[in-house]
Amino acid sequence: MARYEHLPIYKAALDAAVHFEQVVAGFSRYHKYSLGTELRHASRGVIQQVIRANAARERLPQ
């Protein structure tokens, strides 16, 4: 299994996801559950893509 914790792009994506979690916590209730949900899912999706791309045998754009 490919390791990804050492990758700078993974660290940056994780930092961005943590930042979005903190920002969304300050949103109003309406925005927290509409816009906040989209932001959190998108930031987690970036992390998943980094992991998927690192695990791929052929390092073509994912």
DSSP of the chain: ----TT-HHHHHHHHHHHHHHHHHHTS-HHHHHTHHHHHHHHHHHHHHHHHHHHH-SS----
Q: Report pLDDT digits (tens) over 25-52.
A: 999 999 999 999 999 999 999 999 999 9
Range of the domain at 23: 8-55
Confidence band for 4, pLDDT divided at 50, 70 and 90: confident
Check pLDDT > 70 for residue 20: yes
- Total domains in the chain come to 1
Residue 2 lies in a domain: no
Residue 34 lies in a domain: yes
Residue 15 lies in a domain: yes
